[in-house]
Amino acid sequence: MDIKKTPLYQLHQDCKAKFVEFAGYQMPIQYSEGIVEEHKFTRNHSGIFDVSHMGQLFIYGGEELTQDLEKIFPLNLKNLKLNHSKYSFLMNEDAGIHDDLIITKINEGFLIILNAACKESDFDILKNFLKGKYKMILDDNRSLIAIQGPKSSNILNDVIDGVKDLNFMSGNWFSFENQKIYITRSGYTGEDGFEISILNSFADKLTRELIKKGSKLIGLGARDTLRLEAGLCLYGHDLDKDKTPVEANLKWAISKERISKGDFIGSDIIIKQINNGVSKIRVGIKPEGRIIAREKTKIFNQSDVHIGEITSGTFGPSVNGPVAMGYVENQFSKKNTRVYLEVRGKKHPASICSLPFYKKSYVKGAN
């Protein structure tokens, strides 16, 4: 299979990016300054992330579309305001997470941002479920650019006037070079920031304008350390088809009204887990010392019984120490519970901790 390239590929090359294959795309993992410096620059200033590999699915329809989508997603979509966004899941009948996504209410329909590795299968699942009743466009003609960090609002507003007025998880249409672009105040780093949907032919020019204003391109390496410090899940690692939102400790993202109705895909399992509890659950884990516990590291209790597994682990530059997330048996999920991580054949002490490791800095308002 041919490896795809985003419309910013040449710009990444010009900026001396190191590339990796990710979800079928040639993507920048880091630039010359390295992951730690890119991470710190985003936290303290403003970083640009090329996330054009992700899926942008536009679905158009009226009230009937909203009703049909509520049979799929555990969201109260009928109360979602125009140009507002919600985090949600596409689940299977066993409530396993097929994908986690962001749904935004737009004029005449919805914009759904899908994970890159799932976008084609997501499209097929939704198309089959909706039985071809609605216009659906998985738009490959649009790039997605994220700008994140405390200086991002001023930098982007210098290029596109008015974006500073957006609140967290809200968006609107704006203009760049006389072209319509859709911008939401959202992101995946724990910082204030924006995600910009723009025609491929204008993505390079916009990104270069943001760089001129003082922002820098940031690779997937720092994106991963930033999201993990913020306690955010990565699909295919912390979330997959064998884990439910309740097990993933994401019950907050499921509408209470929808739970009471119990009429969405996987609702029977979700209701049982909410009422009866789960056997395993996602937690934050803080290793002692400097040892880094990577994905698939086994977790043991104080009696040397295997109780879980790490799903994400790295060094957190903003907290100056190792951070991790994983799933443990529910009885060991209480904060400050001592556990042991098996790294290179040796057991290292750690403790269950609250998430996030790094306090989020989102801009909220009267949404």
| pLDDT for position 366 | 42
Residue 37 confidence (pLDDT) = 98
Considering only CA atoms, give the Rg of the chain.
21
Express each pLDDT in 264-315 by its tens digit.
999 999 999 999 999 999 999 999 999 999 999 999 999 999 999 999 999 9
Report how far apart, in Å, the C-alpha atoms of 237 and of each of 90, 242, 262, 292, 354 are.
Answer: 16, 11, 28, 16, 19
Distance of CA 362 to the CA centre of its chain: 15
Residue 166, token pair as written in the block: 């957006």
Predicted local confidence at residue 359, as pLDDT: 85
E-assigned strands of 295-344? 298-300, 306-316, 321-329, 338-343
Other Cβ atoms less than 10 A from the Cβ of 247: the count is 21
Residues of each domain in the chain carrying CATH 2.40.30.110: 279-353
pTM of the predicted protein model: 0.96
Asked if residue 105 lies in contact with residue 191, where contact means CB atoms within 8 angstroms, the answer is no
Q: Tell me if the domain spanning 1-230 has CATH number 3.30.1360.120.
A: yes
Cβ contact 196:111 at 8 Å: no
Of 151, 216, 218, 191, which Cα lies nearest the Cα of 318? 191
**Fold of domain 279-353:** Elongation Factor Tu (Ef-tu); domain 3 (2.40.30)
**281 token code pair:** 């659950």
What percent of the chain has pLDDT above 70?
A: 98
Mean pLDDT of the chain: 96
- Name the stretches of the chain with pLDDT < 70: 1, 361, 364-367
SS3 state at 285: strand
Q: Boundaries of CATH 3.30.1360.120 in the chain?
A: 1-230
pLDDT of residue 365: 52
